[in-house]
Structures are given as C-alpha cells and as structure tokens.
Chain A
Amino acid sequence: MSQLLEVSNVSKTFGGVVANDDISIQVPEGAIIGLIGPNGSGKTTLFNSIVGYHPIDGGSIRFQDKEISSLRVPDIARLGMLRTFQQTRIYGEMTCVENMLISTPTRDEGFLGLFRDHRAEDMEKAEQLLDFVGLYSKRLLFAGDLSFGQQKLLEFAMALMNEPKLLLLDEPTAGINPTLINGIIDRLKRANADLGITLLVIEHNMRVIMNLAEHIYCLAHGQLLADGPPDVLRDDQRVIDAYLGAH
C-alpha cells in the first residue's frame, strides 16, 4: 500500500509553546488511521498544519507524493484532502440542501464554473447523502436550526459530497448521544469501504477509535508518544499514563 499522506518531522511553535515537535505519521491509501492524545497535546494543530491553515516551522508534508506544506487551504482542499472541524462548521443561514450543493468538488472547475447552475445529478447526490446521514426530511430547513449532532452529521455529509480522497475528521462523535455514535461509526466505515475514502480521525472516545482505526498514533505534549494497532496501544503504559496524568 502506498502512502497517501506522509507527514515527516513536522514542528510548529506558537511563541514559546511547542505545539508539534518533530512529528511523523503515515496514512496509507484506503486506511482508517486514528490520532489520540490528551487535551492540548497538539492534535488539532497537526490537522491545521496538514491542511495548510498555518505555515509549519519545519519538516515536510506530502500528499500523493506532492509537497503541500507551502500551499494554501483551498488549494490543498482541491487536491482532495478535506477536514471537518472540532467546533462543527456548517453554513447556518443556508438550507441543508444548499449546504450540500455548494460542497460539490471544485477540482476541475474553470472560471466559468463560478457562475454555473446546479446540475440535476448534484441535487440527486445531495439528497442521497442527506438520506445516508438521516437528514433527508430536514433538507429544506436552515442548517443553523439543526441540533448540534445533526449539524455534525450534515458536516460529514458535506465532506462526502466533495468526494475527497482523504478526510480528516476532528472528533466526529464529540457531543453526540451514545445511540447515534454507533450510527456514525457505521457510516464512517461505510464511507471508507464503499466510497474508498481514506480517513484520519482525531477522537477522544476510546471505544470509538479502538473500533474504527486500524492504526493509531498517540500524541502528548506536542510529541509523538507511541503508535501501533489499537490493541497494542491500549495496553501501552505510556499512553495510559498520558491519559491518566501519571508522572
């Protein structure tokens, strides 16, 4: 399996705070990779570095064998790498369907694409995906009026609408009720298996991530603490210490 995303020795500091220190992770094509770590360990910073939200201080980030660490956010997104946000972000004053329609891929869109009308197949796909996440009946409501969990599902559907090759999910189950969590795990797995989308997932819920990921990286204090398959990592004393605060 080739590496879809290769993060090598990435460092990022904010003033005197070292958020990421010499971190290297690999995401093979077609995999589901987990990223865990206590609060403030640098997970979201790493996400932000990967998608180009801020420049990195050192190291390299390669996506499909192309160096992307100096590209801007929309350019990276157009290459087929998308992220969702920890604080769910949707377009609140637009309806769910509109949220979906504007999320179609912009990869091969030229200048005239800025002005084109919506295609019938886009509408069809939008409705199918809304149905996939269980929001079909709410498709004409403003996205801002949905509950937090529903917004999270909508954001996920929007990401799928964009047909990314790699999807970076920042805590997809945070704030969602336990029964719905199973549905989300199921949908993430199906997106991976059926749509061929590679996933890199930040998650605090151990049950979710152990169920989902085939390989997990654990960060602590901005450094890579350990990595390995879920059952190995679960028993790793360093990981347990990091979470429980042992010194």
Chain B
Amino acid sequence: MTANKPLLYGLVAIVGLVAPFVFPAYVAQFAFAWLFILFALTWDAQGGQMGYNSFGNILYFGVGMYVCIVVMVGYSYNVAEYTAPGGEKAFTFSTHQYIIGLALGTIAGGIASAILAIILGSGILGLRGHYFAIGTLGLGIAAGELAAGWDFIGAGSGVAAPVFPDAMGSRSLFFYFVFFAITVIAFFAYKWLYRGRFGLAINAIRDDEDKAEAMGLPTTHYKTMSWMVSAFFLGLVGGPVGLLIGFIDPRDTAFAGVTFGVWMVLMAILGGKGTIWGPVVGAIVFLIFKEVFWIYLLQWQQVALGALIVVIVVFFPQGIMGFLREQWPERFGHRVEETPLNDMNVRGEGEA
C-alpha cells in the first residue's frame, strides 16, 4: 500500500481537477462530495480517532457560515441594513468586494469557530461517553435557536447570501475549487497530526482515557486541540457553503443538525471510524446513495436514507475500512513478526 501512495494521490488530484470539466452538469454534486469528505474527516477526528461522539460539530459549521457572511457584507456595507427584511436586494457586490470579502470572511469564520471550540471544549470535553454526545447535541440545537432569534443576522427568516458577481463565471465551479482546496488541506493537516504523538494520544484517549491520564498524558490539551482543528475547518468551509447554496436559514442550512449534522456521523461510520481513508470512502459512498435515493425514490428518499442508517449501524458498525482491516489484518501491518531483535547484547546489560 505504501509504495502506491504517490500514485493514489496523483490519481485523486487529477480526478479532482478534471472531473468538473468532464462532467459539467455534476459540478455542484462534486462540490458537495468534497464538502462531505471534509465533514466526515472533521467528525472522525473526535468520533473515530478520539472516541468522543460529537453530535454538535455542526455548531462550528454554522458559526463559520454566519461569521463569514457578516464579515463579507460588513467589508462593503452596513450589516444591519443588509439583513433587514428585503434589504439585501439593494446591495450588489463587485468582483473585488466579493473576493476580498469572501477571503476575510472565510478566515474569520475558521478562527471564530476555533476559538469557540477552545472555550466550549474546556467545559464540555470534561463529559464522557453518552453525556458528551447529549451535551453536544444540545449545543447545535441551542445555536440554531439563538441564531433564529437574533435580528442582526436576519433572525428566523434567515439571510440571503451576497449574489455571486456575473463577471466571475460559474458559481458552482468556483466553489467546487474552494471546497476542493479546503478539503485537501484538511486531509493533509489530519495526516500530519495523526502521524506522531497527537494521533496516538487521541487513540489512547479513545481506548482508555483513565489509563492515558494515569500515564501522564495531558489529555485535556489533546482533546481541546482535536476539537479546535475540526472546528477550524468546519468554520472555514461554512461561509463558502452558505454562498453556494445562496440562502442561509438558521435551522436548515447553518445549524442543520438533522441533515449535515447526522450525515457527518454516518459517513464516518460507513467508511470506518478511526482511519484516515475511511471518512473519504464513506463520504463518497454515502453521497452516491443519497443522490440515487433523491432521483429514484423521490418522496421516499428520507425513508430510504433512514433505512440505510439502520443497516449501517446494525450490520456495518466497523465500516468499510474497518471491515477490510478485520478481513486482511496482515495487509494493514498487523502480524506476528518472528524475527528476534538482533541487538541482543543490549538485553544482557539491562536497559539502564
């Protein structure tokens, strides 16, 4: 597997760059594929690698989305006038205003979410198991209700995203590459984090947190850091998603717990929790299922999706990568190695 890695990455990069031009009709779906991979990756950093099943990561997505829109509008106009009912119709964005505003807003969204994760994490990450899951579930719902009651950001009637300037060409294609870039950066960021102590430490927390503490690991730092990284990437991508969809509803787009919030969990489980490729595979397979259901089972799509969830949880709890690892453990390097340690003289002297 190791030898083929450059080949694999090259292949993914080529597909990623070429696909939207070969199948222009599916650009939006491809954009969502990258988004879903990012969702699954960021969720897996807690739910899979660290054993903290978070149902509230959607919070950071929503916060990033709102922060981005507010910063982007605020860069050029008065936010309160823009979010007043019907107000956004009076405002147009030039290419310059749109690009600079988007860049500032996206970064601000990521940073705001990351800071929020540090603050919330110091309290909520003290909860364990089911209590953490329920606590985070509350976070996402509460955030949606708060946003729906705040006039400055459009309250319950939501806010329309700034209109994409005609001069910039295809909106879908533009955001396809934004999602592509963010997801690729996130993938390698996680890969870098998982390669060394960080990866093993959060795995240790998953397997036995009391033991990890007893061994002197600064578990609180690791947990907060893991959540912060996920929050950053979710916050980063939130704004662009809002702009691609075009309208931000507090409960259905930004803090969409029952759709995006549940899907990110499902995709990670489907692909295989606790592996770096699991979320990638899971997101793609899930998206295919979802699109097929929406096309061929219209009106029954939610039922079919619900049935899929049940099937995954009952029959596939270890996911695709987990299943493969169970079937062929040697392929993943888990084997008995009979060759003795050649440096035997060290043993005689003791380890002092």
**A residues whose Cβ falls under 8 Å from a Cβ of B:** 51, 73-74, 77-78, 82-83, 85, 89-95, 98, 101-103, 105-107, 109, 111, 113-118, 125, 127-129, 131-132, 136-142, 158, 160, 162, 190, 193-196
A137 contact from B195, B214, B336, Cβ within 8 A: B336
Beta-carbon contact of A98 and B351 below 8 Å: no
Beta-carbon contact of B351 and A128 below 8 Å: yes
Within 8 A of A (CB), among B334-352: 334-341, 343, 346-347, 350-352
Beta-carbon contact of A116 and B335 below 8 Å: no
Task: Tell me which residues across on chain B come within 8 A of A128, comparing CB atoms.
Answer: 341, 343, 346-347, 351
The 10 closest A-B pairs by CB, nearest first: A77-B216, A194-B350, A91-B207, A117-B196, A102-B200, A89-B211, A78-B216, A73-B213, A131-B341, A106-B216
Cα A105 to Cα B341 in complex, Å, equals 23
B222 in the interface, Cβ–Cβ < 8 Å? yes
Task: Tell me which residues across on chain A come within 8 A of B219, comparing CB atoms.
Answer: 74
Beta-carbon contact of B200 and A89 below 8 Å: no
Beta-carbon contact of A89 and B210 below 8 Å: yes
Q: Smallest CB–CB gap between B173 and chain A, Å?
A: 35
Beta-carbon contact of A102 and B340 below 8 Å: no
Given contacts A91-B211, A105-B216, A115 and B341 within 8 Å (CB-CB): no
Beta-carbon contact of A89 and B208 below 8 Å: yes
B200 contact from A94, A141, A142, A193, Cβ within 8 A: A94
16 example contacts (A-B, Cβ-Cβ < 8 A) are as follows A73-B213, A74-B214, A82-B215, A82-B216, A91-B207, A93-B207, A106-B215, A106-B216, A114-B197, A115-B197, A118-B196, A128-B351, A138-B337, A140-B333, A158-B215, A194-B352
Instruction: Indicate the member of B201, B214, B218, B346 with the most A CB atoms within 10 Å.
Output: B214
How many cross-chain pairs have Cβ atoms below 8 Å apart between A and B? 131
Task: Tell me which residues across on chain B come within 8 A of A83, comparing CB atoms.
Answer: 214
B interface size (C-beta, 8 A) = 41
Task: Tell me which residues across on chain A come within 8 A of B201, comparing CB atoms.
Answer: 102, 114
Q: Could you list 4 further interchain pairs (A-B, Cβ under 8 angstroms) beyond the known A94-B204, A142-B334, A194-B352?
A: A74-B214, A94-B207, A115-B198, A194-B350
Q: Smallest CB–CB gap between A78 and chain B, Å?
A: 4
Within 8 A of A (CB), among B161-211: 193, 195-198, 200-201, 203-204, 206-208, 210-211
Task: Tell me which residues across on chain A come within 8 A of B351, comparing CB atoms.
Answer: 125, 128-129, 132, 160, 194-195
B120 in the interface, Cβ–Cβ < 8 Å? no
Given contacts A128-B347, A140-B337, A93 and B206 within 8 Å (CB-CB): yes
B304 in the interface, Cβ–Cβ < 8 Å? no
Beta-carbon contact of B216 and A162 below 8 Å: yes
Cα A247 to Cα B193 in complex, Å, equals 61
Given contacts A91-B203, A127-B341, A139-B337, A114 and B211 within 8 Å (CB-CB): no
B217 in the interface, Cβ–Cβ < 8 Å? yes
Cα A98 to Cα B338 in complex, Å, equals 18
B141 in the interface, Cβ–Cβ < 8 Å? no
**B residues whose Cβ falls under 8 Å from a Cβ of A:** 193, 195-198, 200-201, 203-204, 206-208, 210-219, 221-222, 225, 274, 333-341, 343, 346-347, 350-352
Given contacts A89-B208, A114-B225, A102 and B337 within 8 Å (CB-CB): no
Beta-carbon contact of A162 and B215 below 8 Å: yes
Task: Tell me which residues across on chain A come within 8 A of B203, comparing CB atoms.
Answer: 91, 93-94, 98, 102
Beta-carbon contact of A115 and B214 below 8 Å: no
Cα A107 to Cα B335 in complex, Å, equals 33
Task: Tell me which residues across on chain B come within 8 A of A113, comparing CB atoms.
Answer: 197
Cα A130 to Cα B337 in complex, Å, equals 12
Closest residue of chain B to A80 (Cβ to Cβ) is B216
Q: Smallest CB–CB gap between A124 and chain B, Å?
A: 8
Task: Tell me which residues across on chain B come within 8 A of A141, comparing CB atoms.
Answer: 334-336
Cα A131 to Cα B197 in complex, Å, equals 22
Task: Tell me which residues across on chain A come within 8 A of B204, comparing CB atoms.
Answer: 91, 94, 102
Closest residue of chain B to A143 (Cβ to Cβ) is B207
Cα A132 to Cα B206 in complex, Å, equals 27
Closest residue of chain A to B341 (Cβ to Cβ) is A131
Task: Tell me which residues across on chain A come within 8 A of B208, comparing CB atoms.
Answer: 89-92
Q: Smallest CB–CB gap between B159 and chain A, Å?
A: 38
Cα A127 to Cα B225 in complex, Å, equals 30
Cα A103 to Cα B207 in complex, Å, equals 14
Beta-carbon contact of B347 and A114 below 8 Å: no
Q: Smallest CB–CB gap between B117 and chain A, Å?
A: 16
Task: Tell me which residues across on chain B come within 8 A of A105, comparing CB atoms.
Answer: 216
Task: Tell me which residues across on chain A come within 8 A of B347, comparing CB atoms.
Answer: 128, 131-132
Closest residue of chain A to B220 (Cβ to Cβ) is A74
Q: Smallest CB–CB gap between B81 and chain A, Å?
A: 44
Instruction: Indicate the member of A91, A109, A113 with the most B CB atoms within 10 Å.
Output: A91
Beta-carbon contact of A106 and B218 below 8 Å: yes
Task: Tell me which residues across on chain B come within 8 A of A114, comparing CB atoms.
Answer: 197-198, 201, 218, 221-222, 225
Cα A160 to Cα B204 in complex, Å, equals 17
